[in-house]
Structure 1
Amino acid sequence: MTSQAQRNRPLSPHLQVYKPQYTSVLSILHRITGVALAFGTILLFYWLVAAAGGPESYAAAQDFIGSFIGRLLLFGWSVALFYHLCNGIRHLFWDVGVGFELDTAYKSGIAVLIGTGVLTLLSWILGYAVGG
């Protein structure tokens, strides 16, 4: 039998034990964007199935995706995509042993955030310029 004290103690360090740090927040965001990409891919799959289903189903999908909610989901998906891409490149450098110094890790984290913003805005600006 376990005592009350054993049941209440944490099994490993938890978020309530440590203050969030810049690098840990970026790491958690990487995991969250991975999950967001999975859900966004469901939206992409819905659009592709609707396109294959004929003009009526495609029009319904386009109506949803073109709505405020649909565009908000697409925008969030594009942010997740570019964050995950930029941070994934950062992780590739770490895999070969480059960029572990604290100063470099902070600077590369800032570069990830800037890259995410720039790539997201560019893709939406270009998307509107080309597709309207």
Structure 2
Amino acid sequence: MEIWINPACSKCRTALRALEDAGVEHTVRRYLEDPPSAAELAAVVERLGLEPWDVARAAEAREAGIDLPRTPEARADWLAALAANPRAIQRPIVTADDGTTLVARDEEAVARVVALGRQEA
């Protein structure tokens, strides 16, 4: 299991603490220091069943100057823009070994992540 975090983010710290408290094996990726590539983002949004703009943080995207249409034609541009501006990506994102991927921003999603981690053990 891999969790993409920004250590300054309280939701990231909460999800990480839940994994640690449950004894779930995981790898931490500080995605601001080790940004995902456009290809990695494409795989993540596909597993999430979303589009790149769905995992963008609106305020940070605006600050980064990401002003793209939300259309299939702009999908590659969105992926490239998010890869170049990782602060604009929602967090934390967790990918289980079976490929299940979640944005763990609320208690329910964090509980699902912990349950997935226990299944992997």
TM-score in terms of structure 2 length = 0.25
Larger RCO (CA within 8 A; separation ≥ 6): 2
Instruction: Identify the structure with the greater strand proportion.
Output: 2
The structure number with the bigger radius of gyration is 1
